[in-house]
Chain A
């Protein structure tokens, strides 16, 4: 399965959740965003970040299909095929 095929099945967004060792919530936000950008997702945002002690619990998000777009999972559209 190719990446684009796999992505076509995502209903709307992909969240990446992790715990980052860092010094501040702002740093965690930057790291999380750069992680998504590095993975090739430009539509990136940080949904939640909580900094305590050694690091931050962070959830970053990228929308694969925003409402109103043409969805891969609808079939026929972007090569996605829902059997």
Chain B
């Protein structure tokens, strides 16, 4: 028998929910009327002899005394041996329950099932979840079969040619990745052979210990704190009331400490995974650094130590992606990420060379090597298509993405398609979102689904160029875009913070929780409802599909995939895409 005691009539809704959950679990309950005095309650408890007494009460200075008296009376009446006393309500924490003399305390946000579990002596479902919650494999169940055979044939042919081409070549990054891997396996720092393949600023950092501008080494004390910070802020996974795609947030404040604080906050607010952002100069500089480094500007420096520190701070079930996609360190970043235990990475030759500033030839060689490393570490990667932001039409970006997917499949890797959900230049000029933000995004996902049986992960982040600096607008846009991904049964979604459109300073932790709150609230609102796009979506599908076919056909006619990139087949100067120059002329034929 469980006695339910509402000391506050206004706040007994929670108690009634718990009553229902207990009864469904087969327990007998008695709900007392509100406003009984402590001695009246204990008198009833003496008669009923409940196994548990659940008291709900909001707290204030006086309320504490009333609750304390209730526990005191129960003890003096000798019923504590048979009746466990539990307090629940606003501001209740275990420390307060202890001070009040109760056996347990549950604060706001406690689910009825947690209380039932406590009463039945089982571990709390959320804690159970946190421990047993397996990381979701986003690629599970996908065959990577091209459902559209004509597109598939073109993509596969281009991938085959690219593979043969790339395997005859090497680059400083490909060689550094090998040297880095050897060093990591032997637990040592990289040697002079590695430094010979680096830019001066990186070489100087190794040889003189001077970190690059705007970075500094963490002090020994800070390193110690960093280890502790991860342990101290253990975050239980918050059970979702409603299904939503696997939710990723980005971090990369520059500082590993701040990153850990942001990650912990994001995970506590419902994020399932986090994406590491490195500084933009990391993509333009040959060579990666070592040591515990903090950076004053956006992007957290990729070093073995920094990655390890972040890994240690992550709850075991949190998915972790380290981006490798765009720069001069792509294969080596995959090696570091895989070695540090990352679950996912990010690679796209086309985006990196058309929107990321890297020379197409160089990134083609590096990208293939990076995919092979990803396969070796069994680390799926997304093929991000952010070149759309420069003005590349969605269909052209998708064409190269599909070649990348075919390539990945050939080297044994598991790719994830990452279409953008964004109000891109193409969309703005074409007026594709003049009525709504739904149709074009629906068309993108459906086109990809019709072509290839592969996971889809809209990003990164969703809602690009739809958010303003107003945090309500920004959070709402993010929430709705994430829900759209949910309707489309996307496997995952990456969301921005409500600071997305603000460029005057670092993103704040509060801005991260803003959009997570919005996503979960929107998911709660829509539940399993479906959204119906207008007839325009079909038109957009046909448009994108023809762009894909045109681009793949044109690429096949080009001398090579790399040449097709230079020639603008997958995004031209007219579109707004410019082949990158970083690393030009560094590729060597073996």
A residues near B (Cβ < 8 Å) are 11-13, 15, 45-48, 50, 57, 59, 61, 63, 65-68, 70-71, 73-76, 82
Contacts and interface: CB of A to CB of B under 8 A. Distances in A.
B468 interface: yes
A67 B258 contact: yes
A48 B254 CA distance: 23
A6 B196 CA distance: 50
Given A13-B510, A47-B504, 13 more contacts: A11-B261, A11-B508, A47-B471, A48-B469, A48-B470, A61-B508, A67-B295, A68-B214, A68-B216, A68-B254, A68-B296, A73-B261, A74-B222
Contacts of B504: 45-47, 61
Contacts of B470: 48, 50, 57, 59
B258 A12 contact: yes
Interface string B490-515: 00000000010010111011100000
Interface string B220-231: 011001000100
Contact of B255 (A63, A67, A76): A67
Nearest to B501: A48
Contacts of A45: 504-505
A66 B296 contact: yes
B294 interface: yes
B232 interface: yes
10 contacts: A12-B253, A12-B509, A15-B510, A48-B468, A50-B470, A67-B254, A67-B296, A67-B506, A68-B254, A75-B225
B265 A11 contact: yes
A74 B227 CA distance: 11
Interface residue tally on B, bucketed by range? 20 to 34
Interface string B247-260: 00000011101100
B45 to A, nearest CB: 35
Nearest to B262: A11
B509 A67 contact: no
Contact of A67 (B221, B229, B294): B294
Which of A48, A74, A82 has the most chain B CB atoms inside 10 A of its CB?
Answer: A48
Contacts of B258: 11-12, 65, 67-68, 71
A13 B498 CA distance: 14
Interface of B: 214-216, 221-222, 225, 229, 232, 253-255, 257-258, 261-262, 265, 294-297, 468-471, 499, 502, 504-506, 508-510
Contact of A63 (B265, B502, B506): B506
A74 B469 contact: no
Nearest to A43: B505
A66 to B, nearest CB: 6
B499 A12 contact: no
Contacts of B294: 67-68
Contacts of A12: 253, 258, 261, 506, 508-510
Contacts of A57: 470
B244 to A, nearest CB: 25
B539 to A, nearest CB: 34
Given A13-B505, A13-B510, A68 B255 contact: yes
A3 B440 CA distance: 50
Nearest to B295: A68
B517 to A, nearest CB: 15
The 4 closest A-B pairs by CB, nearest first: A48-B469, A67-B254, A67-B255, A67-B253
Contact of A74 (B229, B297, B471): B229
Given A63-B505, A76-B221, A47 B499 contact: yes
A19 to B, nearest CB: 13
A48 B471 contact: yes
B229 A61 contact: no
Contacts of A71: 257-258
A46 to B, nearest CB: 8
Given A67-B258, A68-B255, A71-B258, A48 B502 contact: yes
